[in-house]
């Protein structure tokens, strides 16, 4: 019991940290975009140096990174989109079994995504590919997304444990454990 609570808190902390980091990253993109737009407008009036060069490249990398940073929190809170047409008609034990199957599937998917991001990062690093305008090495975007993907794997592994435990003890996790 104490081990499960500790793992729950660690998983929640990892997921929460990544989600907050992703949110801050999106806020930074908003600020940079606003600065770039204002710079473009002031440049037209002859008052400033112009827009931020490569803002599209930075935005693309940051938004992708933020999406991966949100995945662990979404999964920890069981907030993924779901179609529950038959859930109310099934017995509770079957719903808990389906939750376990879904969590196992998410663990496999998260592991596959992290693995492919790792291989993609190595490939982009090996060939020295850069973004078109800012010339940022593309592997940096892969590495940033990989942080969230690894967090997703860790949280998904905990969610499998949580679902297994709920199936074994015959009840859904308490509100504080979701």
Reference 151, options 33, 27, 7, 18; nearest CA is 18
Q: Which two tokens stand for residue 106?
A: 């998410």
**For the chain, which residues make up each domain, given as ranges?**
2-80+87-177
Question: Per-residue confidence at 175, pLDDT binned at 50, 70, 90?
Answer: very low
The answer to whether the CB of 72 falls within 8 A of the CB of 148 is: yes
Which is higher by pLDDT, 69 or 49? Answer: 69
% of the chain with per-residue pLDDT over 70: 96
- Whether the pLDDT of residue 141 is over 60: the answer is yes
Reference 66, options 23, 14, 28; nearest CA is 23
Q: What is the residue-averaged pLDDT of the chain?
A: 92
- Whether the pLDDT of residue 176 is over 50: the answer is no
Summarize pLDDT for 76-125 with one digit per residue, the tens. Answer: 999 887 777 888 888 999 999 999 999 999 999 999 999 999 999 999 99
Reference 15, options 62, 71, 79; nearest CA is 71
Burial 6-23 (b: 16+ CB within 10 A, else e): eebeebbebbeebbebbe
**Lowest mean per-residue pLDDT among 32-41, 104-113, 151-160:** 32-41
Report the predicted TM-score, pTM, of the whole model to 2 decimal places. Answer: 0.90
According to the model, what pLDDT value does residue 84 have?
77
């Amino acid at each position: 019991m104490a081990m499960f609570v500790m793992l729950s808190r660690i998983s929640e902390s990892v997921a929460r940290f990544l989600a907050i980091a992703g949110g801050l990253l999106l806020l930074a993109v908003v600020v940079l975009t606003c600065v770039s737009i204002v710079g473009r407008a002031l440049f037209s009036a002859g008052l400033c140096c112009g827009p931020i060069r490569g803002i599209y490249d930075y935005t693309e990398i940051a938004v992708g990174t933020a999406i991966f940073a949100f995945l662990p929190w979404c999964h920890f809170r069981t907030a993924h989109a779901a179609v529950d047409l038959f859930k109310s008609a099934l017995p509770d034990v079957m719903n808990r079994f389906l939750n376990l199957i879904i969590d196992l599937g998410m663990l496999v998917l998260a592991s596959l995504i992290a693995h492919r991001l790792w291989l993609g990062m190595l490939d982009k690093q090996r060939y020295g590919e850069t973004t078109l305008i800012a010339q940022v090495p593309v592997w940096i975007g892969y590495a940033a997304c990989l942080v969230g993907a690894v967090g997703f794997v860790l949280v998904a592994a905990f969610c499998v444990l949580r679902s297994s435990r709920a199936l074994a003890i015959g009840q859904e996790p308490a509100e504080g454990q979701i």
